[in-house]
C-alpha cells in the first residue's frame, strides 16, 4: 500500500489487534459490520473505527478514510491514525503482517518528516491491545519514535500480555478477558473464548490458581497473569 498523507494534523499512530484469529473475521468488512451494526450486537458508529486493517496475508485494507478522525482510542483519537492487525494469539500473527506494518510505519514516518510517534492501544487503555511486541517489530525507542533505519521486521516473537495487565474478575468482558481465556485454553481449560468472564472462566481460573499455589479467589491480578504467561 502507498500511504497518502491526509489533510489534517497527525502526530501519533495507534496500533490495535482484532482480538480474533478466525479466518472469517480476517477482513475489514467484518470490522465495519461490528462497528456499524446497531447496539447491542454492534456499536452503531457511522463507519469502522480503524483507518487501516492488516490481514494475515499482509494485505493492507482501507477502512475509515484517513481524512477522518478515527474511533479507536477513546479520548485519544484527535491527531491520530488507527491501524488494526487481525489476530489474538501471539504466535498466530504472521511475518507478512509484521512486514506490512513495518513498511507502512516507515512510509508514515517519512510523510511526516519523523514528526509522528507510534503507540499501542494499551498505552492509553487498560486493554491488552495489541498483544504483540510492537516496539520490537517496528524498532521504536521509548518515546515511540522509529529509532533508526532499523533491521528487517522481526518474526512472531511477541508478548503474551504487555503491561498494563488489568485486574479482571467475574462479569468483566473485553479483549483482556479473551486473552485470559486463550491463555487458560493453552493449559487445557476448554473455556469459550468469547471475552465474557462467566462462571466457566471463573472455575478455570480457580483451578489454575490452586494448581500454581496462588490464592484461588478467581480474581486475575498480577500474580495470576505472571503465572499464566510464564
Domain boundaries, the chain: 12-138, 175-229
Mean pLDDT of the chain: 88
Q: What is the per-residue pLDDT for 164?
A: 46
Q: What is the per-residue pLDDT for 230?
A: 65
Gap between the Cα atoms of 124 and 116, Å rounded: 16
Element (H, E) at 120: strand 117-120
pLDDT tens-place values along the chain, 230 residues long: 899 999 999 999 999 999 999 999 999 999 999 999 998 878 899 999 999 999 999 999 999 999 999 999 999 999 999 999 999 998 999 999 999 999 999 999 999 998 899 999 999 988 889 999 999 899 888 888 987 654 444 444 433 334 446 788 999 887 678 878 888 988 899 999 888 899 999 999 999 999 999 999 999 988 898 888 76
Q: What is the per-residue pLDDT for 173?
A: 82
Fill in the DSSP letter of residue 24. Answer: G
Q: Which residue has the cell 492487525?
A: 85
- Per CATH, which fold does 12-138 belong to? Lysozyme-like (3.40.80)
Element (H, E) at 52: strand 52-54
**What's the pLDDT tens digit per position in 185-197?**
888 999 998 888 9
Indicate the pTM of the whole model.
0.67
Gap between the Cα atoms of 87 and 93, Å rounded: 6
CATH-assigned architecture of domain 175-229: Orthogonal Bundle (1.10)
CB atoms within 10 A of CB 200: 16
Bridge pairing between strands 117-120 and 80-85: unpaired
For residue 108 the three cell numbers come to 508514515
Q: Which residue has the cell 528487517?
A: 152
**41 three-state secondary structure:** coil
Amino acid at each position: 500500500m502507498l500511504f497518502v498523507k491526509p489533510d489534517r494534523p497527525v502526530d501519533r499512530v495507534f496500533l490495535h489487534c482484532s482480538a480474533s484469529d478466525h479466518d472469517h473475521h480476517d477482513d475489514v468488512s467484518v470490522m465495519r459490520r461490528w462497528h456499524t451494526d446497531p447496539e447491542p450486537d454492534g456499536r452503531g458508529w457511522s463507519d469502522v473505527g480503524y483507518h487501516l486493517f492488516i490481514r494475515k496475508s499482509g494485505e493492507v485494507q482501507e477502512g475509515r478514510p484517513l481524512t477522518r478522525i478515527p474511533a479507536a482510542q477513546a479520548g485519544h483519537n484527535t491527531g491520530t491514525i488507527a491501524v488494526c492487525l487481525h489476530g489474538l494469539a501471539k504466535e498466530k500473527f504472521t511475518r507478512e503482517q509484521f512486514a506490512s506494518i513495518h513498511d507502512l510505519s516507515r512510509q508514515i514516518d517519512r510523510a511526516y518528516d519523523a514528526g509522528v510517534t507510534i503507540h499501542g492501544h494499551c498505552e492509553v487503555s487498560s486493554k491488552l491491545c495489541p498483544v504483540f511486541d510492537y516496539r520490537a517489530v517496528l524498532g521504536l525507542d521509548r518515546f515511540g519514535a522509529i529509532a533508526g533505519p532499523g533491521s528487517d521486521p522481526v518474526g512472531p516473537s511477541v508478548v503474551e500480555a504487555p503491561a498494563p495487565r488489568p485486574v479482571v474478575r467475574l462479569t468483566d468482558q473485553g479483549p483482556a478477558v479473551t486473552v485470559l481465556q486463550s491463555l487458560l485454553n493453552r493449559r487445557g481449560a476448554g473455556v469459550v473464548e468469547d471475552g465474557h468472564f462467566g462462571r466457566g472462566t471463573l472455575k478455570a481460573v480457580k483451578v489454575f490458581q490452586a494448581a500454581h499455589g496462588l490464592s484461588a479467589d478467581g480474581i486475575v491480578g498480577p500474580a495470576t497473569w505472571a503465572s499464566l504467561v510464564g
